[in-house]
Amino acid sequence: MKKLLFPAIFAAVALAQAPSSIQQSASRLDAALLQQTVAATATTLTLQPSSSQSVYIYQIDFSNCEDATGQAVAAPTYVTTTNLGGATTATSLAWVMASGGATAAGSCVQTFSVSYPTGLKSTIPGTAVTVITPTFLGHQTIRVTVTYAFAP
Partner 1 sequence: MKRTAILFLSLCALALSLSAQGPTNVQQTNSRLDAALLALSSHSSGATLTLTPLGSQSIYIYEIDVTNCAGASAVSAAAQTALTTTNLTGSPQWQIGSGTTAGLCVQNFVVTYPTGLKSQVPGTPVTVVLPTFATNQTVGVNVVYSSAP
Q: Which residues bind partner 1 (CB under 8 A)?
A: 2, 5-6, 9, 12-13, 15-17, 20, 22, 25, 28-30, 56, 62, 71, 73-76, 78, 84-86, 88-101, 103-104, 109-121, 123, 149, 151-152
Q: Which is nearer to partner 1, 123 or 127 (CB)?
A: 123
Yes or no: say if 122 and 84 are a contact pair by the CB < 8 Å rule: yes
Tell which phi-psi region holds residue 142, choosing left (phi > 0), alpha (psi between -120 and 50) or beta.
Answer: beta
Q: Write down the least CB distance from residue 38 to partner 1, Å.
A: 19
CA 44 to chain centre: 14
Residue 149 identity (one-letter amino acid): A
CB of 40 vs partner 1, minimal distance in Å: 21
CA distance to 33, 76, 93, 108, per residue, from 122 (Å):
16, 27, 12, 30
Nearer to partner 1, 41 or 111 (CB): 111
Give the CA distances from residue 32 to residues 5, 35, 102, 149, in Å, rounded to whole numbers and listed in that order: 52, 8, 38, 5
Least distance to partner 1 from the beta carbon of 43, Å? Answer: 20
Whole-number minimum distance, CB 78 to partner 1, in Å? 8
Closer residue to partner 1, CB minimum distance, 56 or 136 = 56
